[in-house]
Amino acid sequence: MLEKTDSEPSQPHSLQASCFCGAISYRVEGGPVFSLYCHCTICQRIHASPFVHVIHYHTGSFNWIHTDPNALFTKSELDSEWKEWRCLSCLGAIASENPTEGRWSLRGAHFHRDAEGMIENWHLIEPTGHMFYNTRMLDVNDGLPKWEGYAGGSRRLDIDDKN
């Protein structure tokens, strides 16, 4: 049996996800740009939820893998560059695309799960903070950083609130 040495390149991580009925699926390769809980008002309206776990990947890391090209449709928010992709069968919001920024925003709940119901390779996409926390519908006391906008590019609210 051959063992991998440190000089050998590691294989890129590949994760798969699907909508709730399974008609739509995709694969992502490599690591995400970021993985955060989003509290923006667009996500709140699209998902009818106070916040959602979003994972951003560069466009080159994302590929649709379902076989029916007519299984999904898209709708753009009027006030956003993001294009929302949904399944025609279950109507699940499966992904958002921003061609201007070259990014896909994916939902944590769609990633494949193991027999115990845990998301496979959770450590690769585990959220590292909260963004758009200033428009939150509820407080979250989880010890993760809270940002006014995008993480690293806006004011950190959990630090500023303590001063």
Neighbours of 39 (CB within 10 A): 23
Least confident range from 1-15, 18-32, 137-151: namely: 1-15
Q: Per-residue confidence at 163, pLDDT binned at 50, 70, 90?
A: very low
Q: Is residue 7 part of a domain?
A: no
Both tokens assigned to 40: 């923006």
Q: Per-residue confidence at 149, pLDDT binned at 50, 70, 90?
A: very high
pLDDT by residue (tens digit) across 11-53? 568 999 999 999 999 999 999 999 999 999 989 998 999 999 9
Quote the pLDDT of residue 73.
80
Residue 69 has pLDDT above 90, yes or no: no
State which residues form the domain around 38. Answer: 14-160
Q: Which of 15, 35, 33, 34 is nearest to 25 (CA)?
A: 15
Quote the pLDDT of residue 161.
58
Q: Is residue 2 part of a domain?
A: no
Q: What is the CATH number of the domain that holds 58?
A: 2.170.150.70
Q: Is residue 8 part of a domain?
A: no
Q: Is residue 5 part of a domain?
A: no
Q: Is residue 1 part of a domain?
A: no
Residue 7 has pLDDT above 80, yes or no: no
Residue 129 has pLDDT above 90, yes or no: yes
Average pLDDT over residues 65-69: 87
Query: Is residue 73 exposed (0-12), middle (13-18) or buried (19+ Cβ within 10 Å)?
Result: exposed
Residue 133 has pLDDT above 70, yes or no: yes
pLDDT by residue (tens digit) across 76-125? 665 678 888 999 999 888 999 999 999 999 999 999 999 999 999 999 99
Q: Is residue 91 part of a domain?
A: yes
Q: Is residue 30 part of a domain?
A: yes
Strand partners, 155: none
Q: Is residue 87 part of a domain?
A: yes
Q: Taking the model in full, what pTM does it have?
A: 0.86
For the chain, what is the domain count?
1
